[in-house]
Structures are given as structure tokens and as C-alpha cells.
Structure 1
């Protein structure tokens, strides 16, 4: 249901823009995470958080997206599906769409990061989370493109893997103190809206819905 992520995205964006009371959730979460991290004092968890965060970078997320588009196109051609080239085009367009969705918002909201340092002239803000959006869209679209060329069991596994990767990146960013929680949640909502729209398109299925 697109209403839920759309409503959440509008609400969070409004609160960030006006420095509203909802941002108290960010401060509470950051304090709780820092206390937990201090109590556990786990180098392994800290390295895991950083590693998960890195999965939301342009590398490896964008190469995975493009490779999935190429593989889905190849599988579509072998299966005799109409417009077998379309998955590759969708992957390329998605790679270009991500910065168009994130960068203007970062510049407009100009939200300081968790450490509170003021932004330098020309510096982008932290809202929404670029790594979370990149992970959600790259791995999510990759799963959607490949899912339409495989069976039901593999399709469920692809969707689950994409969801776990996007969730892991967001949690890693919050754990590592790289982003506020609401930066991450907003990007999950933004990516979810795009994925819901894309899921309705016949990217590689036969036109009769099979």
C-alpha cells in the first residue's frame, strides 16, 4: 500500500524541515544506541555495522543493480519474453534516478548529521540517507528484475535478500552513528514507493501476465 510509506515520508520531511518534536525520536535513538555500543564494547559489532553501511555505497550497490539488469535481460531473451532488453534499461535508469531523488533533498533540507557540526558552504545535508536509498533501490530493483525470470521459490528468496540488505544498511548506519534514524526511515519509504511503482510494470513478464 503506497499510502503508508508516502504518509510517513511526508510527515518525516515536514518534521525535519520545521525541526519538529518528532526529531526527539532521533535524539533518543542515538543516545540509546551509543549507550548500548558503550556497554557491549564489541569490536565485532562495530566492524559489522561499518561493513553493512558500506553495502549502501555506489560500489557495490550500483554494479549489482547493473549486473542484475543484464542477467535479467539475458534470461528474458532465452525465455522468449517480449522486450528482453527492458530490464537492462530499467537498471540503468534506476542508477541514474537515485542521485536525482536524493541529492536535491539533501541540499534543500541541509540537515546536520548526528555529530551536530554545521554544514560547510555547498555541503549536502544528511537527510535523507543516500546510502539507504541506494541500497533499497539498487538491491530492490535488482531483485524485482531477476524475480520475473525465475520461479516462485527463488522469487521469494530474492525479495527477502533485498529486504535484508536494505534493512542491514540502514541499521548499520544508525549503529555506526553515520545517520539519524529518521534519515534512514525516510529513505526506506522513498525507495519503497519507487519499488511499489516498478512492481506494477510488466518489465519482463509476458503481456498475458504469465
Structure 2
């Protein structure tokens, strides 16, 4: 009985969460650029620039990249290769964006706001601009395409630095923690997104598609985007207000163009006409007894005789052809020769 009650309560909570709230909840707070967040942003930016400088100058970080590459983790632990081939999908931009957008779309519908979807769109736009520009600007080749042992492989037309999988995992899964409604949910989602992005970055190193320094720079790039999002909150709010205003105008235009139903006519009371205006009804003739004494239509007028006394008359329009030798009925026949 207790188990059934607990299951019923849990189901009630789930269905209560699925119900749409009557209006936008007031407890949703918009993150602001606080002093603590500004300090984290500054330290992360310094870490980003330090990694770029260490790779450009071919420091100890580049030598560590080559050592990890020669170690070949995919040959040391081949048993987890099949699993990590699927796990690395959590860092691909297309599948992760679709999954997170579906969840944030449900939240937008439930809370009567488009802020979650607009925040996701803004973060992905920043990710494409910043990470894409850094990739093309530095042009570093990956481990599989390295040409000179010990070199930093910079400026050779590659697009591997920073790691796009790692940065995308940080931004896509971290946006769930950024948009969390409570502090407890924000802590749990932050830890989950950090573990997921860390696993994705190490998976790319295991597969040999990225240097270790690519992963470090990808973590820093994704974290910079999440920390900078409060600066774009006013722009997101203006975009949301513009979308709602456009929705209201379209609804008003649809109401004006909708056909107006005709008003029902009031019932009209019928006035009784005057007796003088009523049409005269012709009086019926009295039925006399003479009418009943008329002979039937099918009887011929005059006295009736018996059938044997009647004169045979050939009916008009008879179908029998006339015969000259035919005598009328009752006449004496002459002796034949």
C-alpha cells in the first residue's frame, strides 16, 4: 500500500509539472553580471590567452601534446573505443542543439516565454563566431595530419584549435544550468554539464582527433560564452518583447479580418386582423335528396331491358374486320347450296 501511494504521489507530481502555468512565473530570475562573475570571466580570459601564447611559443604544453599523441590512448585501451565513438556525439553541435532546444521549447511553452530559446540561440551564435574565428585564424593541424615532430603546427590551414566538440559541450549543456529556476537545480546541472564536457574533451584526445591543448582551449572558450551571457540579456529581453508585440499585432489583424456573425432578428408579434378584412368564405350549397336520385354514370339513360331483348349493336371501333357474309345474331340463316 505504501509503495502504491508513493508511486501515485510521484505520478501526480509529474503530471502537475506537465501542466501549463496560467502566466509567466515571477520567481524566474535573470542572471546579472555580478562582481564574482566578472572576476571569473577575467580569469578565464587570462587562461585562454595563456594557452594560446604557450602553443604559439612552442612551450612545454606543445611537448605534452606530442607525448600524449605518441602514447596513443586508443591503442592502450581498445575495449572502450566503441563506447566512446557514441559518447563523443554529446559534443556535436547538431544532435545536442536539437535535444536541448526540444527541452527549452517545452519550458518556453509552459512558462509563456521565449527567453530560453532566445538564450540558446544567442549562445550558439556567439559560439560559432568566436570559436570559428579562432579556428580559422590560428589554422592549427590535428594529430593525424601533423608534419613536423615537436612543432606547434600553427598557421598551416587547419581548423582544430580550439576544440569545437569541447566548447559546444560546455555551452550546450551549460545553458541548462544557466537557465535553471532554483539554486539547487543550478548546482546539479552545473556539475552534470562540467562532467559531460570534460568527458567529451578527453574522448577527442583518446580518439586522436585533438591535441590536449585544443581541449583546454575549448573548455575556456565555452566557459567564456556562458559567463558573458548576462551582457546580452537586455538584447534578449528586447527581442522577446518584439516577438510578443508582433504576435499581438497578428492576432488583432486576424480578428479584424474575421467575418462578423449577423445579429439575430427580434421576433415580430403578429397582430390579429380585423374581421372586416377577412376574405368571405363561399357558402356551401345544401345537399338535396335529388342529387342522390341521379342515375349512376355507368348506366345508360332510359328504361332497361333484359339481355335477350336487346338489339345487337356492333361497338364502334371494334377490332374485328367487317365480313359481308356475317349475319346479325337472331336472324334466320338461308340454306346453303
TM above 0.5: yes
Q: Which of 1 and 2 has greater Rg?
A: 2
**Which residue pairs with 1:72 in the alignment?**
107
Match of 1:20 among 46, 53, 59: 59
The one of the two structures with greater contact order (alpha-carbon pairs below 8 A, sep at least 6) is 1
Give per-residue Cα distances to partners, 1:109-142, cap 9 Å, x unaligned. Answer: 11010123469xx954210111111111111113
Q: Note if 1:166 corresponds to 2:197.
A: yes
- RMSD, aligned CA: 2.7
**Which residue pairs with 2:75 in the alignment?**
38
Shift of 1:3: 3.3
**Which residue pairs with 2:185 in the alignment?**
154
Match of 2:118 among 73, 89, 94: 89
Relative to structure 1, is the Cα distance of residues 130 and 39 closer, same or farther in structure 2, using a 3 angstrom cutoff? closer
Q: Note if 1:4 corresponds to 2:35.
A: no
Relative to structure 1, is the Cα distance of residues 21 and 174 closer, same or farther in structure 2, using a 3 angstrom cutoff? same
Is residue 61–residue 213 contact of structure 2 (8 Å, CA) maintained in 1? no
Q: CA–CA distance in 2 between the matches of 1:195 and 1:71?
A: 22
Match of 2:211 among 174, 180, 183: 180
Q: Note if 1:128 corresponds to 2:162.
A: yes
Q: CA–CA distance in 2 between the matches of 1:173 and 1:105?
A: 19
**Which residue pairs with 1:103 in the alignment?**
132
Relative to structure 1, is the Cα distance of residues 91 and 59 closer, same or farther in structure 2, using a 3 angstrom cutoff? same
**Which residue pairs with 1:138 in the alignment?**
172
Give per-residue Cα distances to partners, 1:158-187, cap 9 Å, x unaligned. Answer: 222211221111011011111011101101
**Which residue pairs with 1:81 in the alignment?**
none
Match of 1:189 among 214, 220, 232: 220
Q: Secondary structure at the match of 1:55?
A: helix
Q: CA–CA distance in 2 between the matches of 1:193 and 1:27?
A: 27
Q: Note if 1:198 corresponds to 2:229.
A: yes
Q: CA–CA distance in 1 between the matches of 2:109 and 2:48?
A: 36
Is residue 136–residue 163 contact of structure 1 (8 Å, CA) maintained in 2? yes
Q: CA–CA distance in 2 between the matches of 1:40 and 1:184?
A: 20
| Structure 1: tracts of 5 or more residues without a match | 78-83, 205-210
Give per-residue Cα distances to partners, 1:77-120, cap 9 Å, x unaligned. Answer: 3xxxxxx322221111222222111111111111010123469x
Q: CA–CA distance in 2 between the matches of 1:199 and 1:165?
A: 23
TM-score by structure 2 length? 0.50
| Structure 2: tracts of 5 or more residues without a match | 1-39, 148-152, 238-337
Q: CA–CA distance in 1 between the matches of 2:184 and 2:191?
A: 11
Shift of 1:22: 2.3
Q: CA–CA distance in 1 between the matches of 2:78 and 2:118?
A: 46
TM-score by structure 1 length? 0.77
**Which residue pairs with 1:29 in the alignment?**
68
